[in-house]
């Protein structure tokens, strides 16, 4: 780095200046006149440095070492910091696949649930199950029964208008069902509760005409006498 090189040059310059301040006779040779010819010249003996110079040299050496340590510390501070290791990736929990929708209940199950609600006199829940059954199987094996008990649930709640309509659906859609004569009789009773005497009598006569040998027709004959 430029700063460290500049400091090293400064240290070297200080060292040379202090050496020059010392006894120059120790650093530079003295110019003596040449000896006469034939005289044996002895090699000059370099004088030992004085204790003061030695102390100055040791002090300068200590300063140089301290400067070198400071330069090394500065170089260490100017080094780019090591990149911090990336945090470990957090594993995301696997997304759960949506659960498939449960299959719709079968027709027989809907009818069975409707009858269970009907027996416990939970008539709205029973009608709901019967309606679901009729939507899924309008001509199913239990469709006549579903219509009859749907009408009967209305009748038990004294909702006679809705009851007679359900009984009429059974007679129209399933005229050959064993429940058709009973539906006609219950329809006649619904008209009676609504004080619709003409409709009441008309329905009883219709029952006798269409199903003359049924027990319901025999009951209708007794009522009309």
- Per-residue burial over 170-202, b if 16 or more Cβ lie within 10 Å, else e, is bbeebeebebbbbbbbbbbbbbbeeebeebbbe
* CA dihedral sign, ordered 154, 182, 142, 120: positive
Q: Is the pTM of this model over 0.85?
A: no
3-state secondary structure of 23: coil
Give the pLDDT of residue 225: 83
pLDDT per residue as tens, the chain (225 positions): 444 454 555 545 555 545 454 444 444 444 455 545 555 545 445 455 566 656 665 665 565 566 556 545 544 554 545 555 555 555 555 556 566 555 556 678 999 999 999 999 999 999 999 999 999 998 899 999 999 999 999 999 999 999 999 999 999 999 999 999 999 999 999 999 999 999 999 999 999 999 999 999 999 999 998
pLDDT tens digits, 161-216: 999 999 999 999 999 999 999 999 999 999 999 999 999 999 999 999 999 999 99
Give the integer Cα–Cα distance in Å for 117 and 217. 30
- At residue 209's C-alpha, the angle toward residues 152 and 207, to 5°, is 10
Give the integer Cα–Cα distance in Å for 49 and 58. 12
Give the pLDDT of residue 27: 40
């Amino acid at each position: 780095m430029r700063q460290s090189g500049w400091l090293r040059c400064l240290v070297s310059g200080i060292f040379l200046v202090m050496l020059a301040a010392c006894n120059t006779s120790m650093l530079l040779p003295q110019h003596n006149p040449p000896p006469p010819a034939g005289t044996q010249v002895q090699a000059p003996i370099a004088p030992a440095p004085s204790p003061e110079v030695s102390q100055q040299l040791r002090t300068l050496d200590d300063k140089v070492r301290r400067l070198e340590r400071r330069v090394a510390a500065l170089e260490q501070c100017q080094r780019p910091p090591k990149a911090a290791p990336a945090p470990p990736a957090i594993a995301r929990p696997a997304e759960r696949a949506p659960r498939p929708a449960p299959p719709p209940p079968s027709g027989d199950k809907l009818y069975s649930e409707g009858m269970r609600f009907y027996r416990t006199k939970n008539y709205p829940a029973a009608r709901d199950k019967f309606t679901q059954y009729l939507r899924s199987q309008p001509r199913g094996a239990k469709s006549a029964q579903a219509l009859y008990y749907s009408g009967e649930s209305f009748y038990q709640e004294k909702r006679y208008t809705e009851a007679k309509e359900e009984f009429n659906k059974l007679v129209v859609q399933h005229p050959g069902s064993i429940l058709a004569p009973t539906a006609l009789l219950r329809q006649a009773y619904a008209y009676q509760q609504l004080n619709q005497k003409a409709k009441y009598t008309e329905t009883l006569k219709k029952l006798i005409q269409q199903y003359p040998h049924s027990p319901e027709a025999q009951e209708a004959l007794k009522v009309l006498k």
